């Protein structure tokens, strides 16, 4: 079995469809036959300076959405990053191995810091990918299921792992590989199908939030921007809008794109959009009911997270001790 690790930031009240299709469905699939560890990365969320009570609520909501999507705490470890102190501790060690220029080249950092200006950009935002590397390396992770936008962070993680091994011994940490499923690695904005779907998009209408009112979700799909022409064909270059809708349709129904193309031959864009709106609503409605069941019992949810943190800590402590010892820190007695 492989060790699987991944996480999401609790930075909004609801996950969006890109999080679900790009990552969460893979998390659920990878539970079979592997040892999976899934984390709500609340320390990462501090980079957006959230209101304390909002952050706490969003941490629970994010965990509830993992569970509702099918993360099974009987088989997988589910926990909150700040409950395992080793994350922040290993991050410091790794930051001392990360080049300043190397961190400054991260495109997500460049984009976000450009928006916020020098004064608004924190050191936390700068070292964010180093904390992410610590998350992954602490668990001797083999595979990290993420969307395309995390590829560069995974490259940095691999570089840091190789550097640790070169300096302190070949088996200091496991060098992880990204698990990025091509077909769903980048779900696009419904209003701007050349940009990835994201909560920070220009127009809210391009975004499908999993916990939004199903009627609004349906409306956003029906008013998705489509392309010139009328043929329903998968062609990401020439027809990015329709291709994105076909990707979503296929991923949610398990049907293949050629099959969908054949089904919609001679039919208009409107037809596809109405059908897809139905597919999404039929999926999201029971999903929302499950999320609310978990949220209605926060004590039980906190119990699940406590058990998960205990299991995570056992693994993390061993890795951190090994790294500390090899880097020359005097052993605690």
Beta sheet of 3-8, edge-to-edge order? 77-80, 35-40, 3-8, 143-145, 177-179
Binding flag, residue 87, ligand TYM (CB under 6 A) = no
Binding residue per annotation — 244?
no
- Inter-residue long-range contacts of 117-126, CB under 8 Å, 24+ positions, other chains counted: 122/47, 124/46, 124/47, 125/47
Instruction: Give the dihedral sign, CA 111/112/113/116.
Output: positive
Binding flag, residue 277, ligand TYM (CB under 6 A) = no
Residue 189 CA to residue 151 CA, distance in Å, equals 19
Between 44 and 239, name the residue whose CB sits nearer to ligand TYM.
44
Q: Measured at CB, which residue is nearest to ligand TYM?
A: 22
* Residue 239 falls in the annotated catalytic set: no
Write out the DSSP string of 284-322. Answer: HHHHHHHHHHHHT-HHHHHHHHHHHHHHHHHHHHHHHHH
Find the shortest distance in angstroms from Cβ 195 to ligand TYM: 9
Binding flag, residue 149, ligand TYM (CB under 6 A) = yes
Query: At which residue do the structure tokens 């029906």 appear?
Result: 222
Q: Note the Cα 161 to chain centre separation in Å.
A: 21
CA atoms within 13 A on the CB side of 208: 30
Binding flag, residue 91, ligand TYM (CB under 6 A) = no
* Residue 186 falls in the annotated catalytic set: no
Residue 302 CA to residue 317 CA, distance in Å, equals 22
Between 6 and 98, name the residue whose CB sits nearer to ligand TYM.
6
Binding flag, residue 136, ligand TYM (CB under 6 A) = yes
Name the one range near ligand TYM by CB under 6 A: 19-27, 93-101, 222-230, 234-242: 19-27
- Return the number of other C-beta atoms located less than 10 Å from residue 300's C-beta: 11
From 186, 196, 239, 273, active-site residue = 196
Find the shortest distance in angstroms from Cβ 237 to ligand TYM: 18
* Residue 199 falls in the annotated catalytic set: yes
Number of residues binding to ligand TYM, judged by CB under 6 A: 26
Q: Lay out the site mask for ligand TYM across 225-264 (x = CB under 6 A, - = otherwise).
A: ----------------------------------------
Find the shortest distance in angstroms from Cβ 147 to ligand TYM: 2
Q: How far is CA 156 from CA 105, 141, 161, 239, in A?
A: 10, 15, 9, 33
Binding flag, residue 22, ligand TYM (CB under 6 A) = yes
Restricting to residues 45-84, name those near ligand TYM by CB under 6 A. none
Binding flag, residue 132, ligand TYM (CB under 6 A) = yes
Residue 155 CA to residue 148 CA, distance in Å, equals 12
Residue 280 CA to residue 208 CA, distance in Å, equals 10
b/e per residue, 67-80, with b = 16+ CB within 10 A? bbbebebeebbbbb
Name the one range near ligand TYM by CB under 6 A: 90-98, 146-154, 162-170, 299-307: 146-154
Residues binding ligand TYM (CB under 6 A): 5-9, 18-19, 22-23, 41, 44, 132, 135-136, 144, 146-147, 149-150, 153, 185-187, 196-198
Residue stretches of the annotated binding site = 9-11, 18-19, 135, 147-149, 187, 196-200
Active site residues: 112, 196, 199
List residues forming the annotated binding site for ATP. 9-11, 18-19, 147-149, 187, 196-200
């Amino acid at each position: 079995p492989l060790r699987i690790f991944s996480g999401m930031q609790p930075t909004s009240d609801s996950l969006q469809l890109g999080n679900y299709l790009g990552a969460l469905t893979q998390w659920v699939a990878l539970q079979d036959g592997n040892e999976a560890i899934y984390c709500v990365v609340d320390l990462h969320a501090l980079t957006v300076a959230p209101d304390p009570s909002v952050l706490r609520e969003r941490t629970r909501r994010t965990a509830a959405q993992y569970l509702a999507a099918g993360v099974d705490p009987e088989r997988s470890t589910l926990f909150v990053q700040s409950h395992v102190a080793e994350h922040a501790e290993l991050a410091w060690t790794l930051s001392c191995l990360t080049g300043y220029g190397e961190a400054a080249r991260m495109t997500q950092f460049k984009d976000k810091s450009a928006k916020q200006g020098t004064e608004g950009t924190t050191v936390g935002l700068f070292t964010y990918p180093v904390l992410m590397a610590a998350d992954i390396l602490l668990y001797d992770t083999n595979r990290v299921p993420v969307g395309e936008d995390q590829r560069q962070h995974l490259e940095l993680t691999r570089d840091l792992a190789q550097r640790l091994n070169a300096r302190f011994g070949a088996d200091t940490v496991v060098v992880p590989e990204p698990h990025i499923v091509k077909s769903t690695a980048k779900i696009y904005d419904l209003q701007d199908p050349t940009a990835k779907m994201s909560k920070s998009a220009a127009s809210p209408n391009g975004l499908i939030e999993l916990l939004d009112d199903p009627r609004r979700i349906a409306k956003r799909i029906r008013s998705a921007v489509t392309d010139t022409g009328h043929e329903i064909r998968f062609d990401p270059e020439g027809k990015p809008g329709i291709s994105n809708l076909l990707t979503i349709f296929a991923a949610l129904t398990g049907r293949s794109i050629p099959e969908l193309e054949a089904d919609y031959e001679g039919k208009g864009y409107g037809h596809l959009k109405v059908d897809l709106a139905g597919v999404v609503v039929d999926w999201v409605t029971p999903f929302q009911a499950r999320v609310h069941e978990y949220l209605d019992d926060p004590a039980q949810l906190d119990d699940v997270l406590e058990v998960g943190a205990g299991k995570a800590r056992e693994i993390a402590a061993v890795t951190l001790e090994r790294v500390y010892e090899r880097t020359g820190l005097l052993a605690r007695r």
